[in-house]
Each structure stands twice: as C-alpha cells, then as structure tokens.
Amino acid sequence: MQTQTPCTDYIETKGLIYFARMLDKIRLKAAGKLPPDYFVGVDDDPTMFDARCTRFLAVDYNELVDRTLKGGSDEEILEWCFESGRKPSEEEIKIWNAFLLKRGWRDEASADLKAAKKREGLEDRDDIQTWVDLHDVEEGRTPRPLTCG
C-alpha cells in the first residue's frame, strides 16, 4: 500500500492549528497509509504535538481516535472535543497557535530541532527554524517565514 504524508500543521480548524494534521495522521494510520516513522499518539513523548494538543483540549487520545474513525468532519470532531473535554477561549487558541508555530525557535526544543535537522541532512537549511518548518520541508512543502506577533 502506498503511504501518504499528512496535511500541514498550518491548517486551521475553528481557528486551531495542528488539529487537522493530528486527525489526518489518525486516519492515515488506520488506513495503513501513514509512513512508519511518524509519531502518533501520546505514549512516546509528552512533548510531541499530539500529546500537547489532546492535553490542551482535555481529551483522551484513544477516545479521540475512536471518535475520528467513526467519521465526520474535522469541525464536527473538534466540537466533540469541546463537549468531551474543554473549549479553549479565543485568546487561549491564539496562544496555542503561537506556541506551536514557534516551537524549536529559540526555546528549549531548539537543540532537538537542530539534531533532527542534522539527522535528515538539513543542517544547512536556515529556513527551517521551527518544528512546523521541518514537517513542511520533510513533506515537500516550502516553510513559511517566521513572523512575530
């Protein structure tokens, strides 16, 4: 079966970035199409984006997988998260988005990002400043410029 990379982290679902990517990974994994080296779930490392996102929404990852595989749009599944866990305020969503989009840029995740770039042979790529940038480059997309604010 042919593998497929998930969508970019930048896709917003009701203003929330990354959620669509997490659901895409769930669906692709269930279909046997997600490349084997992708992190999914929350067991491997609590700093991974899936773990952070489910904690942010206060939902159990395995329950989210079950709900996702029952079908529905990303928006419907996010509404389920809001009802089953918590619904962040607009300000909390802005803070979440800013945190995720800048992860690896001048923070405690910078060393890990640098090591990951080296493993992938991308250490000379100055346009890869964040984990989101690395995801995009690894999946054949051009990273967006980092903006402050």
Indicate if 83 and 72 belong to the same structural domain: yes
Q: What is the pLDDT of residue 148?
A: 52
CA–CA distance, 68 with 35 (Å, rounded to integer): 19
Residue indicated by tokens 């054949």: 140
* Domain-located, residue 148: no
81 contacts 64 by C-beta, under 8 angstroms: yes
Range of the domain at 34: 1-102
Cα–Cα dist 146/30, whole Å: 33
**Predicted pLDDT at 42:** 81
Spell out the per-residue pLDDT of the chain, length 149, in tens: 699 999 999 999 999 999 999 999 999 999 999 998 888 888 777 889 999 999 999 999 999 999 999 999 999 999 999 999 999 999 999 999 999 999 999 999 999 999 999 999 999 999 999 999 999 999 999 988 766 54
Domain contains 147: no
Judge if 31 and 53 occupy the same domain.
yes
| Same domain for 127 and 57 | no
Residue 102, sorted as left (phi over 0), alpha (psi -120 to 50) or beta, turns out to be alpha
Rg of the Cα atoms in the chain: 15
DSSP 8-class letter at 139: T
Answer yes or no: do 90 and 26 share one domain. yes
Question: What Cα–Cα distance (Å) separates residue 144 from each residue in 1, 9, 130?
Answer: 31, 11, 10
pLDDT of residue 11: 96
Three-state SS for 82? Answer: helix
Do the domain assignments include residue 149? no
pLDDT at residue 39, as a whole number? 85
The model carries a pTM of 0.92
